[in-house]
């Protein structure tokens, strides 16, 4: 039902009303500016709305609610503003549940009622329903942002002034920020009350670990496609967001570039995430792509893993080493993708991360491995002197840490032997050193130790093939 509208005073169908004054003319009826405490406020919805506004300004909230309620009944609930006005009154009386309900009803009628969004957020925040407050504020901002106005479900957004729009956006932004701050504090309080094992046992985290474990099992059997599928399932359980790799349909949790960048809303208390299985899923998914000779996809996943790990960075050496390892893997994937400049940058970042930029700290197995990988990239780039320097520094670290018979030392000699700038005599000597370490002469105990020292050579068959290849390279020198 719509409010009745009086015809114009000068209409030909309605005679002019005589004035008691000497000057004739139409009678101008002034809008009523007040109501006494016992007046009903009129009999049409618009008059009742005005009365409700009057009593609200006078802080007569119960009276205002009564008038807005009567107006809603007369209007059959078709006027969104009546609900949002009544919500404003309920908020003033601290009847927050009723205010939230009225805000919801107002938005059901008109999804672009700015006051309804604000009053709803105010009520939800007051009831400490911060997640719902956050959601409502985000919906309101989506409606009132400039790029969304054209798609609004009603025309009322376009009828407000720029100043009114700016005011709505400001109020909703304030509530969004307050709700996010409270959610973050709640989440931190809950996390502080749990240790890592407690968090890992939460249902959503335990489920992720099942997928990761199954993925690793499939990886070990050679079912790489199946493994990737399991890792995808684990990452989909992460509410921090998932994105797709650029060359496949496989999601990888990219918390850096997607939904968990600083300032973005955090998850609710019941969705506290243990990110360790997410990091593991990224790592093994990327390794699966590498084994499938799909380095570009591996690069995307390693990059997502790095972003996620940086998200939970701390100042410990363990953290720096984990980040450095991801940089190193990223560099290898970039190299195999043909992006050598990015590969060099990634390996340098790896070194700087683990050593905090101090070259005097190049003394760990991780540093040696990174230097060896950097040498491989320099060699692929044709920078042979830089490659030789990186290989030599890597070998020196391995010799200092493990002695001359370690498997990693053998690979260090092999890297140097394959440089084209090495003389034939030096190359032959290096091959002899490599074979002296790797050829176990069927010593099973030594063979088992060697395989533990060489994760890059995971089986007896792979080791035998490597030895055969080195022997063939050496034989060519003798010819």
3-state secondary structure of 102: helix
- Going from the C-alpha of 36 to that of each of 39, 58, 90, the distances in angstroms are 5, 12, 22
CA–CA separation, 4 vs 48, rounded Å? 13
Burial track 337-362 (b if 16+ CB lie within 10 A, e otherwise): bebbebbbbbbebbbebbbeeeeeeb
Classify residue 140: in a domain, yes or no. Answer: yes
Same domain? For 321 and 389 the reply is yes
Ramachandran category for residue 118: left, alpha or beta (phi over 0 → left; psi -120 to 50 → alpha): alpha
Same domain? For 182 and 230 the reply is no
Classify residue 215: in a domain, yes or no. Answer: yes
**pLDDT tens-digit profile of 351-361?**
999 998 887 77
| pLDDT of res. 329 | 95
Same domain? For 453 and 383 the reply is no
Classify residue 114: in a domain, yes or no. Answer: yes
Nearest to 156 by CA among 191, 109, 120: 109
Average pLDDT over residues 64-88: 90
- Write down the H helix ranges in 193-312: 196-201, 203-221, 224-236, 276-291, 295-311
Same domain? For 98 and 185 the reply is yes
Same domain? For 398 and 410 the reply is no
Q: Where are the beta strands (DSSP E) in 130-261?
A: 243-244, 251-252
Q: Are 75 and 52 in contact (CB under 8 A)?
A: no
Q: Are 462 and 442 in contact (CB under 8 A)?
A: no
Same domain? For 373 and 475 the reply is no
Q: Picking from 250-264, 300-314, 402-416, which range would have the lowest pLDDT averaged per residue? A: 250-264
Classify residue 397: in a domain, yes or no. Answer: yes
Element (H, E) at 363: none
Same domain? For 354 and 391 the reply is yes
Instruction: For 401-412, give the DSSP string.
Output: HH-TT-HHHHHH
| pLDDT of res. 237 | 80
Classify residue 14: in a domain, yes or no. Answer: no
Same domain? For 434 and 463 the reply is yes
Q: Where are the beta strands (DSSP E) in 4-131?
A: none
Instruction: For 415-465, give the DSSP string.
Output: HHHT-TTS-HHHHHHHHHHHHHHH--TT-HHHHHHHHHH-TTS-SHHHHHH
User: Which structure tokens are listed for 25?
Assistant: 């003319």
Classify residue 1: in a domain, yes or no. Answer: no
- Tell whether the model's pLDDT for residue 9 goes beyond 80: no
The number of folded domains in the chain is 4
Same domain? For 330 and 394 the reply is yes
Q: Of 337, 367, 402, which residue is a domain's last?
A: 402
Same domain? For 180 and 224 the reply is no
- Going from the C-alpha of 478 to that of each of 57, 277, 415, 475, the distances in angstroms are 102, 51, 19, 5
- Tell whether the model's pLDDT for residue 310 goes beyond 60: yes
**pLDDT tens-digit profile of 161-186?**
888 889 999 999 999 999 999 988 87
Classify residue 134: in a domain, yes or no. Answer: yes
Terminal-residue alpha carbon distance, the chain: 103
Q: Are 375 and 391 in contact (CB under 8 A)?
A: yes
Instruction: Determine the number of helices (DSSP H) and then strands (DSSP E) in the chain.
Output: 21, 2
Largest pairwise CA distance in the chain: 131
- Going from the C-alpha of 455 to that of each of 117, 294, 315, 316, 369, the distances in angstroms are 58, 21, 28, 25, 12
Element (H, E) at 112: none
Query: Which neighbouring-strand residues pair with 244?
Result: 251
Classify residue 307: in a domain, yes or no. Answer: no
CATH number of the domain where residue 167 is located: 1.25.40.10
**pLDDT tens-digit profile of 438-477?**
988 778 888 889 889 988 887 889 899 999 999 999 998 8
Q: Of 360, 380, 402, which residue is a domain's last?
A: 402
Same domain? For 353 and 435 the reply is no
Q: Of 380, 402, 424, which residue is a domain's last?
A: 402
| pLDDT of res. 36 | 46
Domain that holds residue 212: 198-263+271-294
Residue 175: other Cβ atoms inside 10 A = 24
pTM, to two decimals: 0.54
Average pLDDT over residues 287-300: 96
**pLDDT tens-digit profile of 182-202?**
988 877 776 565 555 555 556
């Amino acid at each position: 039902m719509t409010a009745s509208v009086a015809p114009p005073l000068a209409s030909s169908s309605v005679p002019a009303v005589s004035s008691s004054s000497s000057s004739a003319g139409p009678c101008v009826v002034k809008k009523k500016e007040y109501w006494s405490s016992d007046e009903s406020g009129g009999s049409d919805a618009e008059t009742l709305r005005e009365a409700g506004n009057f009593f609200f300004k006078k802080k007569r909230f119960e009276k205002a609610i009564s008038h807005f309620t009567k107006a809603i009944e007369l209007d059959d609930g078709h006027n969104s503003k009546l609900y949002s006005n009544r919500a404003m009154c309920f908020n003033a009386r601290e009847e927050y549940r009723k205010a939230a309900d009225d805000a919801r009803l107002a938005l059901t009628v008109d999804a672009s009622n700015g006051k309804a969004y604000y009053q709803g957020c105010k009520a939800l925040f007051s009831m400490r329903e911060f997640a719902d407050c956050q959601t409502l504020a985000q919906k309101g901002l989506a409606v009132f942002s400039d790029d969304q106005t054209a798609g609004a479900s009603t025309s009322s957004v376009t009828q407000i002034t720029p100043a009114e729009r700016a005011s709505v956006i400001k109020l909703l932004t304030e509530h969004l920020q307050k709700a996010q701050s409270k959610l973050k504090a709640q989440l931190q309080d809950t996390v502080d009350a749990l240790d890592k094992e407690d968090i890992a046992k939460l249902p959503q985290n335990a489920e992720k670990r099942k997928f990761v474990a199954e993925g690793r099992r499939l990886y070990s059997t050679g079912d790489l496609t199946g493994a990737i599928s399991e890792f995808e399932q684990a990452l989909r359980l992460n509410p921090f967001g998932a994105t797709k790799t650029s060359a496949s349909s496989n999601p990888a949790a990219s918390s850096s570039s997607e939904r968990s960048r600083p300032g973005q809303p955090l998850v609710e208390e019941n969705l506290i995430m243990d990110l360790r299985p997410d990091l593991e899923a990224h790592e093994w998914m990327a390794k699966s792509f590498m084994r499938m000779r799909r380095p570009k996809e591996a690069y995307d996943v390693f990059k997502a893993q790095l972003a996620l790990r940086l998200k939970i960075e701390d100042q410990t050496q363990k953290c720096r080493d984990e980040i450095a390892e991801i940089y190193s893997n990223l560099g290898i994937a970039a190299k195999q993708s043909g992006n050598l400049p990015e590969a060099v940058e990634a390996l340098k970042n790896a070194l700087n991360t683990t050593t905090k930029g101090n070259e005097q700290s190049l003394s760990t197995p991780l540093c040696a491995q990174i230097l060896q990988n950097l040498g491989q990239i320099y060699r692929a780039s044709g920078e042979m002197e830089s490659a030789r320097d990186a290989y030599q520094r890597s070998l020196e670290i391995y010799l200092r840490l493990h002695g001359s018979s370690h498997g990693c030392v053998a690979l260090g000699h092999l890297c140097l032997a394959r440089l084209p700038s090495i003389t034939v005599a030096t190359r032959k000597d290096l091959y002899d050193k490599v074979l002296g370490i790797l050829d176990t002469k069927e010593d099973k105990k030594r063979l088992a130790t060697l395989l533990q020292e060489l994760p890059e050579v995971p089986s007896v068959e792979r080791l035998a093939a490597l030895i055969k290849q080195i022997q063939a390279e050496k034989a060519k020198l003798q010819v």
